Amino acid sequence: MIYGYARCSTNEKLQDIDRQRRELRSLGATDETIYFEYIGGAKKEKPEFDKLMDIVQKGDTITTTEVSRLSRSTRQLCDIIQLIKENCLKLIIKGSITVDCTKNELDPMTNAFLQIAGVFAELERNIISQRVKSGIANAREKGSIIGRPKTSKDNVPQMFLKFYPMYKTGKLNKLNFARICKISYPSVYKYLALIES
């Protein structure tokens, strides 16, 4: 059986995972056998990857688009390689390497290549993190306010105010109110609390 694993660091509104899915399908995975999640690459707990590892059987193949999709931590990557070896699996990283442990062994060159790739994935994550911290510090020095602006009665969206009378008269329930305003369900509660306080 051929499985696929795709991952993005942020949610579907900010990052599109479809490119990874397309590439995994080209490697033989299907929509039913592709596992994907939105979680940071260095996070130890990856629920969907764990589910995948629970169902794979000896001789199965796991495909992914890049080493960094598996992990941005060298230590975690080494643990994943060990799992691949112990479970006698094949790992295909698109365009880079095929790790065949179906005979419960891994040649030293492949192992070294994977570890080096893991080091670069971790380095990239650390550089990005450092740049973000530096950018935030620089913006603060210039007087910028970092983070989401505080919501008050003055900045409740106009669309919400437009349909608020319909909600008050019972023509809209909270769920439909959220849909028509294109906001999240919790935001309805937040704006109602502001308006009705």
Assign a CATH topology to domain 2-128: Rossmann fold (3.40.50)
Report helix, strand or coil for 59.
coil
Cα separation, 147 vs 140, whole angstroms: 11
By CB atoms closer than 10 A (0-12, 13-18, 19+), residue 41 is buried
Question: Do residues 93 and 116 make contact, with C-beta atoms less than 8 angstroms apart?
Answer: no
Instruction: Report pLDDT digits (tens) over 167-191.
Output: 999 888 888 888 888 888 888 888 8
Q: Strands (DSSP E) along the chain, which ranges? A: 2-8, 34-38, 61-64, 90-93, 97-100
Q: Map out the domains of the chain as residue ranges.
A: 2-128, 153-196
Phi, psi of 115 (to 5 degrees): -65, -40
Instruction: Report pLDDT digits (tens) over 87-102.
Output: 999 999 887 788 888 8
Q: Is the pTM of this model over 0.75?
A: no
